Every structure is written in C-alpha cells, then in structure tokens.
Chains A and B, each alone.
Chain A
Amino acid sequence: MAGKTFLVDTTKCTACRGCQVACKQWNKNPGTKTIQRGTHQNPEDLCFSTFKLVRFSEMEEKGKINWYFFADQCRHCIEPPCMYTAQGLGYKSIIRDEKTGAVLFDPKVKVKAADFKTIKDSCPWNIPRRDEKTEGIAKCTMCIDRIREGLLPACVKACPTGTMNFGDRDKILDMAQKSLKELKAVYPKAKLLNAEILRTVFLVVDDPQKYHKFAAVDDPTAITRIAAIKKLIQPFVSLSRFIG
C-alpha cells in the first residue's frame, strides 16, 4: 500500500513535548489557557487548537513505577470512519489525500453540534474536535503543507529521540517490525497498535490501556466493517438528507 505513515515508538519518548509545541507552532495554533491540575499533562486534552498532545500515565505494579508517555494524534485511518460518517451526514469537508493517505478536515466548514458528535463518536481514537464559536472542526493535518514541499511533519522534525518517525508506508512498517522484534525479546507485551488499518502506528511495550484509554481498538475488523457499511449506505443517507 502506498502513501505515508507515522511510527510513534513510545519506548523512545521522554515527554520533552517538542512535538506538541512544534505542532502548534507550525500550524499557528495558539497556546490555550491552562492551570496546573496536579499533572504534567497539559493542556488537559486535544482541542480545536491542539492536534498533538503528550499524554502522561504513571502507575505502580509490584512496587515498580512506570511512567508512560503517549504522543497522541490523529491515526489517519486507511478507511477513515470520520470521513464516511461526515459524508453520510452530507459534509464534504473531510477528505482523504490520495497521494499520502492523510485524512484532512476543512476547519472553515461549519459542522452542527449534533453532527459533530456523530462524527466524533465514529472515531475509535477520540480525535476530532470542534470550536464552539466558529463551529469548525479540526485535528492533525499530517502537516500536508510541509509534506508537499518535501519536508517532514513538524512533530517528527522536532523529535530528538527517534520516537516520531515518518515516511513511505512500506519503509516505516519495515522499521516498525524490526523495532518490534527487538523489543519483544525484552518486553513480551510489545506490540504495534492496529498497524494494518492506520497510518499512525504506535509501538508500545505494555497494555495499550495503560498508556491511554483510546490507544487501541481490540477488534479492528469492526472499524473496517463500520466504515464499509457507512460507505455503502452513504448515497441513501445523503439522498434522505436532501429530501428531508
């Protein structure tokens, strides 16, 4: 399969948040007003102006502390449920770039609150966000404007440790398999999260839930199935909306 893919190797992430800041800087997204809430994770969550967020998760098991960092972002699904759902609702503002496979939102297009909820709920990774004032929706753009100029996405460029990787899908998947094989020897739970259906592939060494609630889906076929059904019924839905 052609197109581009990210590999996020969490074993190399030190939560320096270079990616989080670089993402905002490149996309000209403002810093939101935050407070110290008793955690280093800030802002609290993704939002209309936060496409990339390092999630912090600390836990203690059998007296051993672990502190996991999860540089969350859009997974750029190969068959994106958000896009099919939006199309089903009559929106043309979510598209998939043919060359890279990037799933792109047009943040200038207004999306009704109820429709947004449907779109967001269709995303198993809890990514899309909406601005209540402008009614636009937004998320990671894969830095499509940079990629088209032959540059790396801002988050990948800023990463000092090799956590964030990006390139042609086959090459990145090869890299992911190689890293996985090496890590498996030390961490039996090492795995790639839903690599077959995503263009943002996380490499973890423990249960995905310990990193982030929406880190992985158990049954990826369900996602593809939902997408396929949405795709199938889309003309009818569009038609019904037109008539309605």
Chain B
Amino acid sequence: MTNSWTDIGVSDCVLIMGSNAAENHPIAMKWILRAKDMGGKIISVDPRFTKTSAKADIFAPLRSGTDITFLGGIIKYILDNDLIQKDYVVNYTNAACIVGQKYDFKDGLFSGYNPDKRAYDRAMWAFEKDEKGIVKTDPTLQHKRCVYQLMKKHYSRYDLDTVSSITGTPKEDLIKVYEAYAATRKPDKVGTMLYAMGWTQHTVGSQNIRAASIIQLLLGNVGMAGGGVNALRGESNVQGITDQALLFHIIPGYNPAVRSSDVSLAKYNEKNTPKTAEPKSVNWPQHRPKYIASFLKSMYGANATKDNDFGYQWLPKLDDGQNASWMFMFDEMHKGKFSGFICLGMNPACSSPNANHTREALSKLDWLVDIDIFENETSTFWKGPGMDPKKIKTEVFLFPASMYVEREGSITDSGRMAQWRYKAVEPAGESKADGQIVHELYMKVKALYEKDKKGVFPDPILKLKWDYAADGKLDPHLVAKEINGYWLEDKTIGDKTYKEGTLVPAFPLLQADGSTSCGNWIYSGSYTEAGNMMARRDKTPVATANIFPKWGFAWPVNRRILYNRASVDLQGNPWDPKRAVITWDAAAKKWVGDVPDGPPPPLGLEGGRLPFIMKPDGVASIFGPGLADGPFPEHYEPLECPIEKNPLSSQRINPTTALFKEYKFATCDPKFPFVATTYRVTEHWQTGLMTRYLSLQVEAEPQMFVEMSEELAKLRGIKNGEWVLVSSPRGKVEAVAIVTKRWKPFKIAGQTIHQIGLPWCYGWLIPKDGGESSNLLTPTIGDANTAIPEYKAFMVNIEKLPPKKAAPKAKGKGR
C-alpha cells in the first residue's frame, strides 16, 4: 500500500477491483464504509456480484483477465476529455519526457522483441537525453514522442465498443465508472484503488497495477490522503515477510538478489546503484551500498571486513537469468532435482497451480520437513488421492509450529505498519515458534559443519553471526534490534556523536564503511534507543489526515503515505488543504504533517527537489521502461481464454511470459468452454488449513462449491445444490452448484461467454466430505515479471454428477 488502512476512510471514491474486500479483508470494510458515510462513492468491478458489490454504489462486471482493457478505457476517457490534473502530471510524472526514436508499438508488440527469447531489448525504449545526460522534456506535452502523446496514441484503440466487447462490461456501466472515477481529477478530490490477487494473479499481473498507477498519476491521486494504489495483502504478515525477502529475487529491504556475474561487492553495487544527471532528483537508491554493507555486517558480524568485501562472497548467488520462483521450483522438483524440501507455514499440495503436478513433485523428494500448526495435505500427500504409499520414497517429518498467540514478535500490515504483539499463552505441547525452530535448525547444522571438516563451503554457515538466543531460547527483541541496526563504533555526524552499540535512529545514518550493522534498512527506526516503536499504541492522528504516526511503526521512517511530496503544489501548499498530508512551513523552512519523502523544500523553491525520490529522474513513471512486457500496459488474453483472437492485436497472450511447454493447456477448446476463476471465503484461511479444523468455520462454509449463472445452469441442466464435476486439462474437482443471479453470462466479441468461480480453501484431508482444492484445475503459467501464477483466469468444463449417496444430511442439534 502507498497509503494506510485508516486512510481509505477519507477517500472521495474507492475503486475496488481485483479484490473482494468484504470477503477477504472484512476489517477493510470498516474504512470503506466510513468513506461511504462521508459521501464517498464505492465502485466494485468484479466478474460476479460479491459481498463487496453489495455495499457499492456502482457495480460493473468484467470477464476475468481483462482488467487492462477496462483500465485502458479509463485512461482513454481521461485523455480524450482532457481530465488530467495538469500541474501534477507535467511536474511530477514523466508525461513530458521525450522517448527515443527506437521506441515503437505495432500490433501488440513493442520495439525490440525477440521471439526466440520471448523477451524485449528494453534499451529500445530509452528516453532521449541532452548532452548532460538529462532526459529531454516538453512541458507543453505536444512533442509527438513525449510520453503523453505516445500514451494517447497507445490507448486510442481502447474505445468504448472495443473495451466492452473484450471485458463484457455493459457500456453504460463502463461510462458510470469512468465518470465517477475521473471526477477525482480535481486537486481537492481524491480517489483510491484497492486491489488484491484479482489483479496480480494473471500473466499480465504487474501491468494491471501499472495501468492503475497511470490513472492515479493522471488524476493526481498518488501521495494524497485518501488516494494511492493499495494492495490488500493476502495474509496478515505477508507484507512483513516480503520486506524480509522471502522471495528469491531480493535480499532484505528490496535489494536485488546476488547473481553469479556479480563477482564482487563493487560490481554488485555498480550494477544496482542507479545514477542520475537530473540535478533536482533525490535518487534515494543511490544509497544502496550503505544498506548492503550494513546488511553484510549484520549477517557476518566481525567476520565481515573491508578486506573480504564484508563477507559478500558468502551470500548465496543465483545464476544469471535464473528464475527460482514457485512454479519453476516445483518444476525442478518434479524433474527430481531436489533431494529435500523444508516447507514452513505453506500448503503447496493445495495452494500451487496444477496441484496434482505439485503433489507428484513432492513424491520425487528424498525427504520433506513440514512445519505447521496442523497436519495438512502437503505432509500427508503420500496417502492422498491417487497416491500409493508403497511406491513413494519421500520421508516426511512433521514439526508442530506454534500459533501467533503463542509467540511474541512483530507483524506488518498492508499499510507497511509493523505492530508488536505479545505472547498470550505458552506454545501447546511440543510445538515451537517458527523462529525457535529455525534457530535450533541453524545450531544443529552449524554443529555438523564444525564436526565434519570435509563439509563443502562451510563459511556461509560458520561465519554467520547468530546471537539472538539466551539459554537456547530465541529472543524476538534481539532479532528486532538486529533488523533495526546499531553502531559498530563511535561516530560523529554533524554535531552529534553516536556511541558504539547503540541503536541507529534511522536509515539515513547507515554507513557503507562497515561502521553500522543493519539487518533490513527499511525497518531502521523501528526499534531505537527511544524504545520499541512497533509497540507504540498512541492514537493521536496527524491533525489533517486520518493517519496515526504514534501507533506502531510504518516503514520507511514512519512515513504513513508514500510519495507525499506529490500531495503539494510547487510551493509546498497541499492540493487538498482539508486533507493535507504535508505542508511546507515557509517561515520555519520545514515540512509539517506526515514524515515527508525527504526534507528538501518543495520543487518550486530554492533547493527544491522532485517528489518521487525512489525514481532516478525524480518523477513517477507513466511510461515504465523497466518492465519485461512493455512500457505501457497492453491487453493480452489469459493463457487459456475463450476467444481465438485478441481483438486488440495479433498477440493473443503476453509475448514475454515464460511458457512451460510440456504442461497441459487448452484454449478455445470446445471441451473446456467456460472461463473459470478462483477465490476465497471469509470463513477459510488460504488453503483452509488453519480453519478446516474449526467446527464453527466448517459449519458456515462446509463444502466445495462452484458458483454459476442461472443461464449456464440451465444450459447444463444443473439445479441449485446439485453436485457437479468441474474439469480442466489438468484435473477434476467435484463441487456443489450454487446457481446465482450474481453471476451473469458475458457478451464477448459477439459471443455469449459463461464464467464460473470456485474457492480454493478445501482439501481432501479434512473435513472428509469437504472436497478438493480448485488448484487441481489451475494452469502452470505466470506473470511475465513476477511469475505469480495465473490462478484467476483459465478454462474448464462443467457437468452434472449423479446424486451423492454419501452426502450427509443437514442435521441441526434440535429444531
């Protein structure tokens, strides 16, 4: 999230798309409904009418996988009617920047495409620069190669008829959304966009969010209270684990993972530290070497010296070009390339796309360690459907983990706010906190390396600094302090001296010379000499905004609204004074309000700086030359789709997404004529592993279902409540039909297209009559940039099943 949960409550217009917040983020509705109470408009765009739609002012249906078309239509509407917030767009975005002559876009392809590599030469999209290396601009936005004009040309194809024929959204609904949302163009009107997996889990996932960002920038909604682009994260602490680099392509604090060709720290820094010639750009990522050096000191302590590149060579390295994300990992596992797998708090046997394949992959392992609070389909895969335990070699170990109420530590919400939680009860039985399990595992591995001198490459283990435990018990406070960072020697900066061993107050003080240690620079300031900032519980808000700086700690530097320097005009006066985020106090020469995106004065004053401090040129990217699949979002059909030709170009699917060629797919196949999507229900958590053992949750959502329109039910002779079989080229799932008015057929390119939806919260293990995971159906394909699987759009068939004899009768305790 650029903003925070509470901030949603002050928005004039909340567009919820790619999210069913009411179902999956129930507490979010508190703030969404508060915005509505204040006169804000709520818009729900979703393939079906959801619980969120039930509370919205406007509901607009769209076919799964067509969000870019829908959003591209909004962009065209804004540009055609000249509804941009011009001062914001010209000064704070790259709309005025001039793109080089090599850029082109023809029939679905940008210039520089290599079909063999399924990749672009992104140098073709570079900006034109002057002799000083500064990007050329045309503030009148008239130059034919300025971003504004290229964008206008690109989206000229996204007219109402084309959009409606691809998305299936009735034209009158499109217009309603366009008008309501574009009304936030006024400087003192603000709209927010809330999204979740409905945007990310597509082959064009990253570009869905890019399209949203473009709209928000055109309307001047980024940096504003009640604005921004807001990811409703899928788990309570998934923001925290991403920040701590759970993903393969980053190390803590969103620093790029080390690649094999990054042969030295200097080389890594050179490659990953952006430079700019733009004098008004802050270019904050220029400080990356400080964060890397401090991180390495945190990893290896006294073993990290200047002479050994602070232990840089001990960091694990990826091959150049290697993708080690989820689907690729299980693909490798299926090929027998892994001997062991430690699975912590995950249930891939139900959560992976093409889950049958994943279950098979688990059978190729020598051993599997599963760490969870309950037995799940992953740890018991060997006795699951279609498995013969006698033929499976995998040795499985199940470690009982403790629940969140049984351990202390921080949890970071979607708004980047870390809050400290306390342990309420001791872990049950022999269960242990995840951190404790990892600690004990490390100590054991270390002892083995110490004992066996022949161990291969022992340094990464033996040189690791690991001093977070007392009497064998991991202390979360020590870990939190390690993440915050501390001084390794006395240091005087300006007129202030920092003592060795004291905690670093904030990341601007981190050093590249080895004099500071910091586990994760973005969390620097979360646990300081003033105490544990994450444990703060003071509800005093910023006077003009619904944000609470003394409650917990939000990274970076407790900033609650990112890019807030864009919330003011060139003189530092808020665009929207009644909801000011920050204001330049000209007399005192400082900012008041939220923690600003850096202390320099506003752009128009002497010494002023551009607002988007994380971008090399200081401006936000309407044109985004850094993504794999193009600088402008473009509509491509999902891998499996119901129409043979993309109405917008000859490129049916994203030309840069990696294809797993040996896997089964079916597109425009009459055997699988219906679009399907997957989702969750409030009552079950992710794969349902934490909730399927709880009788009160199971009572409310007991069994696998498939929702469909009355029209499709009629077509297939299916009645409400009957068991049906849903199949894809990859698997089959039985489900109870929910025939509902909330799903309607779509009119796509002149044809009637039916779509269905299934939850993915069930599994064969428990409850016994609950049904299977819908991920037996989903395809192995992902986003071109992130490789997040395309769970949200694929093709299936649906047929009626004979009545189930085993189906239990509904029986209440008494009448």
Interface residues of A (CB under 8 A from B): 12, 14-18, 20-21, 24-25, 30-40, 42-45, 47-50, 58-60, 65-69, 129-133, 160-162
Q: Which of B235-243, B346-354, B398-406, B806-814 contacts A (4 or more CB under 8 A)?
A: B806-814
CB interface residues, B 269-315, toward A, < 8 Å: none
Tell me the nearest residue of chain B to A50, going by C-beta: B812
Whether the pair B808, A33 counts as a contact (CB closer than 8 A) is: yes
CB interface residues, B 782-815, toward A, < 8 Å: 807-815
Whether the pair A16, B815 counts as a contact (CB closer than 8 A) is: no
Contacts A32-B699, A35-B808, A36-B703: A17 and B683 contacting too (C-beta < 8 A)?
yes
User: Which residue from A15, A20, A38, A43 sits with its C-beta under 8 Å from B812?
Assistant: A43
CB distance from A77 to the nearest CB of B (A): 22
Complex contacts, A15 vs chain B, CB 8 Å: 22, 51, 54, 682
CB-defined A-B contacts under 8 Å, sample of 21: A14-B22, A14-B29, A14-B54, A15-B54, A15-B682, A16-B22, A21-B696, A33-B810, A36-B702, A38-B738, A38-B739, A40-B701, A42-B701, A42-B702, A58-B740, A69-B54, A130-B814, A130-B815, A133-B814, A160-B26, A160-B30
Whether the pair A67, B721 counts as a contact (CB closer than 8 A) is: no
Whether the pair B815, A34 counts as a contact (CB closer than 8 A) is: no
CB interface residues, B 723-777, toward A, < 8 Å: 736-742, 769
Tell me the nearest residue of chain A to B769, going by C-beta: A35
Complex contacts, A21 vs chain B, CB 8 Å: 683, 696-697, 700
CB distance from B174 to the nearest CB of A (A): 16
Contacts A38-B721, A38-B736, A38-B738: A48 and B812 contacting too (C-beta < 8 A)?
yes
Whether the pair A43, B815 counts as a contact (CB closer than 8 A) is: no
Question: 8 nearest interchain CB pairs?
Answer: A31-B695, A38-B721, A48-B814, A131-B814, A31-B699, A38-B720, A47-B812, A36-B703
User: Which residue from B682, B721, B740, B809 sits with its C-beta under 8 Å from A17?
Assistant: B682
**In the assembled complex, B705 has its CB within 8 A of some CB on chain A:** yes
**In the assembled complex, B49 has its CB within 8 A of some CB on chain A:** yes
User: Which residue from A16, A47, A59, A69 sits with its C-beta under 8 Å from B26?
Assistant: A16
Contact with A along B660-704 (1 / 0, CB 8 A): 000000000000000000000111000000000011111111111
Tell me the nearest residue of chain B to A136, going by C-beta: B814
Complex contacts, B720 vs chain A, CB 8 Å: 38-39
Complex contacts, B22 vs chain A, CB 8 Å: 14-16
User: Which residue from A16, A17, A36, A44 sits with its C-beta under 8 Å from B704?
Assistant: A36
Whether the pair A59, B741 counts as a contact (CB closer than 8 A) is: yes
CB distance from B602 to the nearest CB of A (A): 39
CA distance A30 to B814 in the complex (A): 12
User: Which residue from B59, B694, B701, B814 sits with its C-beta under 8 Å from A65?
Assistant: B59
Contacts A35-B810, A38-B737: A14 and B26 contacting too (C-beta < 8 A)?
yes
Whether the pair A36, B705 counts as a contact (CB closer than 8 A) is: yes
User: What count of chain B residues pass the 8 Å CB interface test?
Assistant: 49
Tell me the nearest residue of chain B to A25, going by C-beta: B696
Contacts A16-B26, A47-B812: A66 and B696 contacting too (C-beta < 8 A)?
no
Complex contacts, A32 vs chain B, CB 8 Å: 699, 811-813
Complex contacts, B186 vs chain A, CB 8 Å: none
Complex contacts, B699 vs chain A, CB 8 Å: 24, 31-34, 42-43
Residue of B27, B697, B811, B814 most packed against chain A (CB within 10 A): B814
Contacts A21-B696, A58-B741: A47 and B815 contacting too (C-beta < 8 A)?
yes
A-B contacts counted at CB < 8 A amount to 146
Whether the pair B815, A132 counts as a contact (CB closer than 8 A) is: yes
CA distance A60 to B695 in the complex (A): 33
CA distance A244 to B722 in the complex (A): 52
User: Which residue from B51, B54, B702 sits with its C-beta under 8 Å from A35?
Assistant: B702
**In the assembled complex, B55 has its CB within 8 A of some CB on chain A:** yes
Tell me what chain B mostly uses at the interface: helix, strand, loop, or mixed: loop
**In the assembled complex, B180 has its CB within 8 A of some CB on chain A:** no
Residue of B59, B698, B738, B812 most packed against chain A (CB within 10 A): B812
Complex contacts, A48 vs chain B, CB 8 Å: 812-815
Whether the pair A16, B682 counts as a contact (CB closer than 8 A) is: yes
Complex contacts, B682 vs chain A, CB 8 Å: 15-17
CA distance A147 to B695 in the complex (A): 26
**In the assembled complex, B318 has its CB within 8 A of some CB on chain A:** no
CB interface residues, B 582-603, toward A, < 8 Å: none
Whether the pair A40, B738 counts as a contact (CB closer than 8 A) is: yes
CA distance A58 to B54 in the complex (A): 10
CB distance from A75 to the nearest CB of B (A): 20
**In the assembled complex, B627 has its CB within 8 A of some CB on chain A:** no
Whether the pair A66, B33 counts as a contact (CB closer than 8 A) is: no
Whether the pair B738, A33 counts as a contact (CB closer than 8 A) is: no
CB distance from A83 to the nearest CB of B (A): 20
Whether the pair A39, B33 counts as a contact (CB closer than 8 A) is: no
CA distance A37 to B699 in the complex (A): 12
Complex contacts, A44 vs chain B, CB 8 Å: 810, 812
Since A40-B681, A67-B51 are in contact, a sample of 12 more A-B pairs with Cβ atoms closer than 8 Å, ordered by chain A residue number, is A16-B51, A17-B700, A36-B703, A36-B721, A37-B736, A37-B810, A38-B722, A40-B701, A42-B700, A59-B741, A129-B814, A160-B26
CB distance from A4 to the nearest CB of B (A): 23
Whether the pair A65, B49 counts as a contact (CB closer than 8 A) is: yes
CB distance from B542 to the nearest CB of A (A): 23
User: Which residue from A50, A129, A162 sits with its C-beta under 8 Å from B33?
Assistant: A162
Complex contacts, B769 vs chain A, CB 8 Å: 35
CB distance from B696 to the nearest CB of A (A): 5
Tell me the nearest residue of chain A to B170, going by C-beta: A63
Tell me the nearest residue of chain A to B49, going by C-beta: A65
CA distance A43 to B699 in the complex (A): 6
Complex contacts, B683 vs chain A, CB 8 Å: 17, 21
CA distance A24 to B697 in the complex (A): 11
CB distance from B32 to the nearest CB of A (A): 9
CB distance from B66 to the nearest CB of A (A): 20
Tell me the nearest residue of chain A to B744, going by C-beta: A65
Complex contacts, B27 vs chain A, CB 8 Å: 160
CB distance from B235 to the nearest CB of A (A): 17
CA distance A58 to B742 in the complex (A): 8
User: Which residue from B53, B736, B739, B813 sits with its C-beta under 8 Å from A131?
Assistant: B813
CB distance from B375 to the nearest CB of A (A): 20
Tell me the nearest residue of chain A to B681, going by C-beta: A40
CA distance A36 to B737 in the complex (A): 9
CB distance from A195 to the nearest CB of B (A): 21
Contacts A30-B813, A67-B54: A18 and B49 contacting too (C-beta < 8 A)?
no
Whether the pair B29, A34 counts as a contact (CB closer than 8 A) is: no
CA distance A66 to B741 in the complex (A): 9
Whether the pair A47, B700 counts as a contact (CB closer than 8 A) is: no
Tell me the nearest residue of chain A to B48, going by C-beta: A65
Complex contacts, A42 vs chain B, CB 8 Å: 699-702
Whether the pair B814, A132 counts as a contact (CB closer than 8 A) is: yes
User: Which residue from A14, A39, A68 sits with its C-beta under 8 Å from B738?
Assistant: A39
Complex contacts, B698 vs chain A, CB 8 Å: 31, 34
CA distance A161 to B59 in the complex (A): 20
Complex contacts, A25 vs chain B, CB 8 Å: 696
Complex contacts, B33 vs chain A, CB 8 Å: 12, 161-162
CB distance from A165 to the nearest CB of B (A): 14
CB distance from A115 to the nearest CB of B (A): 14
CB distance from A125 to the nearest CB of B (A): 16
